[in-house]
Amino acid sequence: MMTENERWQDKQNADNRPYLKYTGPQRLESALQTLAGLLTGIAADGEITVEEARGIQAWLDENSEFKNRNPFDEVAKLFDAALEDGELDTEEVQDILWMCEKFQPKNKFFNRVTADIQKLHGILGGISIDGVITVDELSELDAWIIEHDNLKGFWPFDELDSLITDVLADGKIDSNEHRRLMSYFSDFADHGSHALEMPLNDTDGELSGVCAMQPEIVFDGRVFCFTGGSERATRRQLEVKITGLGAEFSKRVTHSIDYLIIGAKGNVAWCYSCYGRKVEQAVTLRKQGHQILLVHENDFWDAVEDM
């Protein structure tokens, strides 16, 4: 029996069906970007599990509308041939990935940022589709993050960069860190293909509001907001400092702010599952495409001293 949400989604799909013919090329490019990411994530640890192979098949099934379209048909044939022996090895995945990369779009419909975000979506799905995230997989993802710093400022790049750095600091992933990773990866996957939905862990709440790593902070003409407590300045002193550097100070989180500074003194509600109202608002706006940076107070003062 369909849930209320499933019925709503089914109706939306039915209402949009007459217009799908006009968006076919864009959706095909998006699907191929996600598949390239999915394969990259699956191959990150050098092993292919049954669950991961099923994940690719689920992607192919979900995108069957393109089964007779090039290059989708070529990718599907290559995948079918690879599974003839009932297994999918790393070499076969690399062949399929090569095929996807060969047909990468020349920015006809999407800019590079959009394409890379779609690929990142697939990578997160590929890494965690079997419910297990290893150090090798996270290290490969970290290397990909470093190579794609053009995504700085876009959700979920900054949060992901900070989270990976934190988890890999001791070279291992404990059970609590694994729950945090799965919670975050699942949260991102919820915004895309059903084929990439990963098994949820019993973590409390969503992982959100992680500060950007080494953020680039510009004052002139920008809008700043502050949340939490500071041991270095009162809220009024912060406002004076910010406006004195040519920026504006906002008491509320809105789509017009550029930076939300998170006080170093902390807050009793600030754990990875709950940072507070302002941070949740900022994260929601980031998910909607607004480039609001969440910045730790220490980085804010470093930027002030560099002025």
Write down which residue in 159, 179, 196 finishes a domain: 196
CA pair distance 18, 288, nearest whole angstrom: 26
Write down which residue in 155, 181, 196 finishes a domain: 196
What percent of the chain shows pLDDT beyond 90? 26
**CA-to-CA dists, residue 306 to 52, 148, 211, angstroms:** 47, 26, 20
Are residues 256 and 179 located together in one domain of the fold? no
How many C-beta neighbours within 10 Å does residue 187 have?
Answer: 19
Are residues 161 and 298 located together in one domain of the fold? no
Query: pLDDT tens digit string along 3-23?
Result: 444 443 444 444 444 433 433
8 Å CB contact between 241 and 269: no
Has residue 17 been placed in a domain? no
Whether residue 207 has pLDDT greater than 70: no
Q: What is the mean pLDDT of residues 173-202?
A: 66
Are residues 63 and 134 located together in one domain of the fold? yes
Are residues 264 and 119 located together in one domain of the fold? no
**Domain count across the chain:** 2
Has residue 78 been placed in a domain? yes
Has residue 48 been placed in a domain? yes
Whether residue 86 has pLDDT greater than 90: no
Are residues 183 and 240 located together in one domain of the fold? no
Has residue 76 been placed in a domain? yes
Has residue 14 been placed in a domain? no
Most confident of 47-61, 84-98, 139-153: 139-153
Res 276: pLDDT: 75
Has residue 211 been placed in a domain? no
Between 155 and 299, whose confidence is greater? 299
Average pLDDT, the chain: 77
Query: pLDDT tens digit string along 19-31?
Result: 334 334 566 777 7
Res 49: pLDDT: 79
Res 195: pLDDT: 42
Has residue 285 been placed in a domain? yes
**How much is the pTM?**
0.65
Identify the domain containing residue 240 by its residue range: 223-306
Res 98: pLDDT: 78
Are residues 98 and 190 located together in one domain of the fold? yes
CA pair distance 189, 192, nearest whole angstrom: 6
8 Å CB contact between 291 and 154: yes
CATH number at 278 reads: 3.40.50.10190
Are residues 82 and 192 located together in one domain of the fold? yes
How many C-beta neighbours within 10 Å does residue 19 have?
Answer: 8
Are residues 60 and 113 located together in one domain of the fold? yes
Between 8 and 209, whose confidence is greater? 209
Whether residue 259 has pLDDT greater than 90: yes
What percent of the chain shows pLDDT beyond 70? 76
Q: How confident is the model at residue 171 (pLDDT cuts 50, 70, 90)?
A: very high
CA pair distance 267, 282, nearest whole angstrom: 17
Give the residue among 65, 63, 50, 210 at the shortest CA–CA distance from 130.
50
Are residues 233 and 269 located together in one domain of the fold? yes
CA pair distance 249, 259, nearest whole angstrom: 10
Are residues 185 and 107 located together in one domain of the fold? yes
Query: pLDDT tens digit string along 134-162?
Result: 999 999 999 999 999 888 888 888 888 98
**Tokens (6 digits) for 88:** 């999918």
Q: How confident is the model at residue 191 (pLDDT cuts 50, 70, 90)?
A: very low
Are residues 229 and 283 located together in one domain of the fold? yes
Are residues 192 and 258 located together in one domain of the fold? no
Has residue 102 been placed in a domain? yes
